[in-house]
Amino acid sequence: MVRWSKLWNADGHDRRHQLQDEMRSLLPTSSEHPPPPSIPPKEVTKVALRLRHQLEQVIPCELEEAKVTSPHSPILTHAVIETAKQAGGEQYKACVVFCLLVVKKWFKTQAMCELWDADLHEVRAVAAEMLAKRIIEGEEDLDYLMEEVLLKRYSYLVDGEPSSPANAIERAVDLHALTVIGSSGYQKCIAYLWWGWFVQDDEDPSRFVTYENKTNTDYWSHLDPDRMRVPRYQNAVQIIMSVVYLALYTGAINTINPTGDVDVVEALLYFCTLGLICDEVAKFWKVGRFYLSFWNIFNSTLYALLTTSLALRMVALGYKQHTEPRAHYNQLSYNFLAFTAPMFWMRLLLYLDTFRFFGSMLVVLKVMMRESLIFFLLLLVVLIGFLQAFIGMDLTDDSLTDVGFIIQAMLNAIMQSPEFEGFDRFAPPFGIILYYIFTFVVMVILLNILIALYNSAYEDITGNAIDENMALFSQKTMQYVRAPDENVFIPPFNLIEIFCLILPFEWWMPQDKYRRLNDYVMGIIYSPLLVVTAFMETRQAHRVKYNRRRGEEDDDVVQEWEQALHECDFEADGWDKKVQQSKPNVEFDTDVLEIRKLQSEVSGLKELLLEMKEKGGWGVDTLKESKFGEEKMGESSDSVARE
């Protein structure tokens, strides 16, 4: 079964800060109690406090965010970055990136608590994130970066108690730290997790280890059912099963049985639905209400409608054929089934978010739905107020006769199709006047507010579409890695696990034998896919070995411009020297460079004057006699004139 985190402490008490932290978390964590982190939580907290103090001193007042985020920031200089690296010393330097993300969370929380200094704390939070990115991108040891800095889990003290262990990858996803997520080292680590080059240790799920057969070119060594835990293989199976699920639905809705009997296609459709329902219930049972999201509610609605359709079909089968009740319930069952068609097709978007176009659009839709909550809250207040007024007018004759007419007219106005006929006879002249006011408020004010919110959300996401897409991909990868299945049975195969493995065997069979039995069953179920994945991993192993022979990184791909690069020697033919002489200095503005040049010239002139003073020559003629002095005075005069 799935290993999910418990959101409550072992003693049964709900600690406020830990609960708030989990509420902001986007993903569930592992349910097993991991061993204590390699660095004590107290030391991690000290490192985080040092970094917080540094940022408070580096940014003592409100600054423009662009000064912090620019590539050659005058605020986050090389000296500041080097100081941040030293916050943990040599012994605890691996947790600096994790601590910077913790500091970002602290500043974000402080910005919400101290609104008068919110802008200052927001800039400091951005600076903490930028420091983490610079440290990640400046680390040259790739193995150390991924294994120690990004994937090792750390804890810090909250109310004197260690927090739940997490690594920098998880923390960045939880905080939606786009700057860190968009860094090259972070994305390389995510790619290694997606390909299964880093896997969780079977003995200690809190640790990540390198896949032992990464460079093994033997085909049979990759034919392993445990490789189904790799995120991209799980995602592929889910896409395949979603297409099959949609095909079953299409076959069921297009082959209506007049007698009301359930055919094979419908039986398979409801069988898959049962597996999906069991999967959702199991996850919700383990995680709790924090598991709920837009897609969970969407899928639950779909499964509820399909269950209703099946229940009505069963009711219809309780009546004799060619009777009116059986035909009525049978028709109602198909109506519910047909009603779910748009939801079936929209459900595919959940599994297509690995493609860049669909991923960006899903992020836009998610943000739009969140922004529209403001609109619906205002609309609800307005609706209740006007509905109460209209019902009050209808009650003047001690009877409610026009409630249906009132509700329908108000809904038509929301859909931008108001109907004014009938209100002229409704409590004249108050009814028609009130309906005009309601139409104006809804169509002119509220709907334009909704359009403005949607436009703002679309511009924010599309303006940062690349980072948002990488964040979505990282979140999807961590959903598989952070809460992995011990035995991967993707719905509807989870029904095989529940009824053929867990119930009859798990409660009495030894763990090693039960694990071996699961491997056999998984090998049979996923055998067609394992044949393909083993072939892919064998080719991948050849490529990794080839890259290592060339001294390149494991995931290196030779591009067109690199194919003939070995035939060029830019240093030998002098091309590199010419380039170095002509390249501009992009770290500083031209004005700054000219001022620095003027400073050096003035310093040289000052040294010359002091030298002449010591020799006893104070006259201008004496100064001019010196060729060096004449050149310096001329250059200084020209520079001063230019400035």
Whole-angstrom distance, CA of residue 79 vs CA of residue 238: 48
- Which 3 state secondary structure label does DSSP give 355? coil
Give me the domain span that covers residue 113. Answer: 16-182
Question: Does residue 117 lie in a domain region?
Answer: yes
Q: Examine the fold and report which residue of 405, 434, 469 is the final residue of a domain before the chain moves on.
A: 469
Question: Does residue 527 lie in a domain region?
Answer: no
Query: Is the model's pLDDT at 414 over the cut of 80?
Result: yes
Residues 23 and 160 both lie in one domain: yes
Question: Does residue 273 lie in a domain region?
Answer: yes
Residues 427 and 312 both lie in one domain: no
Question: Does residue 320 lie in a domain region?
Answer: yes
Q: Examine the fold and report which residue of 417, 434, 469 is the final residue of a domain before the chain moves on.
A: 469
Residues 390 and 428 both lie in one domain: yes
Query: Is the model's pLDDT at 601 over the cut of 60?
Result: yes
Please choose, from the candidates 149, 218, 224, the residue with its C-alpha nearest in 3D space to the C-alpha of residue 519.
Answer: 224
Measured torsion, CA atoms of residues 29, 32, 35, 41, in degrees rounded to the nearest 10: 40
Question: Does residue 535 lie in a domain region?
Answer: no
Question: Does residue 548 lie in a domain region?
Answer: no
Residues 360 and 345 both lie in one domain: no
Whole-angstrom distance, CA of residue 126 vs CA of residue 130: 6
Question: Does residue 595 lie in a domain region?
Answer: yes
Residues 368 and 407 both lie in one domain: yes
Measured torsion, CA atoms of residues 339, 345, 351, 356, in degrees rounded to the nearest 10: -140
Range with the poorest average pLDDT among 273-287, 378-392, 582-596, 601-615: 582-596
pTM: 0.78
Question: Does residue 461 lie in a domain region?
Answer: yes
- DSSP 8-class letter at 297: H
Residues 274 and 367 both lie in one domain: no
- Which 3 state secondary structure label does DSSP give 198? strand
Other beta carbons within 10 Å of 143: 8
Residues 361 and 343 both lie in one domain: no
Residues 66 and 83 both lie in one domain: yes
Residues 161 and 67 both lie in one domain: yes
- List, for residues 93-127, the tens digit of each pLDDT value: 899 999 999 999 999 999 999 888 899 999 999 99
Query: Is the model's pLDDT at 2 over the cut of 50?
Result: no
Residues 170 and 24 both lie in one domain: yes
Whole-angstrom distance, CA of residue 98 vs CA of residue 44: 9
Q: Examine the fold and report which residue of 444, 469, 494 is the final residue of a domain before the chain moves on.
A: 469
Residues 20 and 169 both lie in one domain: yes
Q: What is the pLDDT of residue 70?
A: 86
- DSSP 8-class letter at 320: P
Residues 99 and 128 both lie in one domain: yes
- List, for residues 247-302, the tens digit of each pLDDT value: 999 988 888 777 777 888 888 999 999 999 998 888 888 766 767 777 888 889 99
Q: How many domains does the chain have?
A: 4
